[in-house]
Structure 1
Amino acid sequence: MSERDDQEREFDLRWAEEAAHKEPSARARMLAARWKENPPAPVPFRADPDPVRPRRSSWVSTAVVLGCVAGVIVLLGYLEFRAPY
């Protein structure tokens, strides 16, 4: 780009930012029209959509994982014990 193009672009950006009236986006216009006929219901800040059931204790998950690991170790030891050399 030449220096003249940079100056023209800078002028266009400055002119657009200093505009007295800025038109809202298409989405803003659509929502304004929709809400004029059917306003949205008030929603609490960051409300949960559905009540969440309590999570299981982390100790339960840890016990399940360690139990699986111990089971695999025992199974491998049993297979090694039974394997003929």
Structure 2
Amino acid sequence: MSQQDDEKHEFDLRWAAEAEHKEPSARARMLAARWKENPPDPAPFRADPGPVAPRRSSWVSTAVVLGCVAAVILLLGYIQTRSPY
């Protein structure tokens, strides 16, 4: 594009941004028309999440994982000592 086209394009964007009245998007117009006939039920901005179960300590999870790893190591060692090869 030429310099003149860039300036004209920039002017158009500035003019559009400074407009007093902006037309709503197609989705906004569609929802406005739909809600005029059938308004939506009121809903809170954020609903209460409800009771939350207490989380187990990270130490419990770590102990369970390490216990499983130790059990697998012991099982593999037992299998290796029992094999004839």
- TM superposition score category, shorter chain reference: 0.7 to 0.9
Structure 2 length normalisation: TM-score?
0.73
Find the counterpart in structure 1 of residue 13 from structure 2: 13
Q: Structure 2 unaligned segments of length 5 or more: list them.
A: none
Deviation at 1:53, TM superposition (A): 5.7
**Secondary structure at the counterpart of residue 46 of structure 2:** coil
**Secondary structure at the counterpart of residue 13 of structure 2:** helix
1:65 aligned onto 2:65: yes
- Partners of 1:24 and 1:36 in 2: how far apart? 16
Structure 1 length normalisation: TM-score?
0.73
Find the counterpart in structure 1 of residue 74 from structure 2: 74
Which residue identity does 2:77 align to in structure 1? Answer: G
Q: Segments of 4+ in structure 1 off by > 3 A?
A: 50-53, 58-64
Q: Structure 1 unaligned segments of length 5 or more: list them.
A: none
Aligned residues: 84
RMSD of aligned residue pairs (Cα, Å): 2.4
Identical counterparts, % of pairs: 74
